[in-house]
Amino acid sequence: MRVFFKTVLFVSSLCFSVVNISVGAEVGSLSVTEASGLLTEKKAVIIDVRENSEWSEGHISGAIHIPLAQLPERLAELKAYQSSPIITQCRSGKRSAQAADVLKSAGFSKVYNMEGGLNAWDKAGLKTE
């Protein structure tokens, strides 16, 4: 009976460890207000993953433009931000969520998706250029 309980405890702790690992690998999300604050304080960089035509219509000042389709081949350009907070952003938040997953899988440790994308940014009255 003791062996059984020790086995159950071992398996339980192993499962708990695996859950913690996978939770740690998740991408966080930020509101536009939180993202704006981090950008203003220069505590994060923003990656705009929209297409060229969308970028030219308006973008967040200081954002780095890398369209989602180009992101895997352009990861080296972001090497300097490997352990810095990175906020991914698109029009509505869907493509940027995919981009955040790409960055997380590539070893970037502090990746956040901006909820609602540029639509939410504009709705909040925040500036673009």
**CATH of residue 98:** 3.40.250.10
- Taking the C-alpha atoms of residue 75 and residue 93, their distance in angstroms, rounded to an integer, is 20
Could you tell me if residue 111 is inside a domain?
Answer: yes
pLDDT of residue 99: 98
CA dihedral sign of residues 116, 120, 121, 122: positive
Structural domain count, the chain: 1
CA 21 – CA 4 distance, rounded (Å): 26
Q: Domain residues for 59? A: 28-123
Establish if 58 belongs to a structural domain: yes
**Catalytic pick among 90, 111, 118, 120:** 90
Q: Compute the distance between CA of residue 94 and CA of residue 123 in angstroms, rounded to an integer.
A: 17
For residue 10, tell me if it sits in a domain.
no
Is 63 within a domain? yes
Sequence-ordered list of residues with C-beta below 8 angstroms from that of 126, at least 6 positions apart, any chain: 32, 36, 60
In a domain, 84, yes or no: yes
pLDDT tens, the chain, 129 aa long: 444 333 333 333 333 333 332 334 467 999 999 999 999 999 999 999 999 999 999 999 999 999 999 999 999 999 999 989 999 999 999 999 999 999 999 999 999 999 999 999 999 999 999
Contact (CB, 8 A) for 113 and 27: yes
Could you tell me how many helices (H) and strands (E) the chain has, helices first?
5, 5
Q: Is 90 a catalytic residue?
A: yes
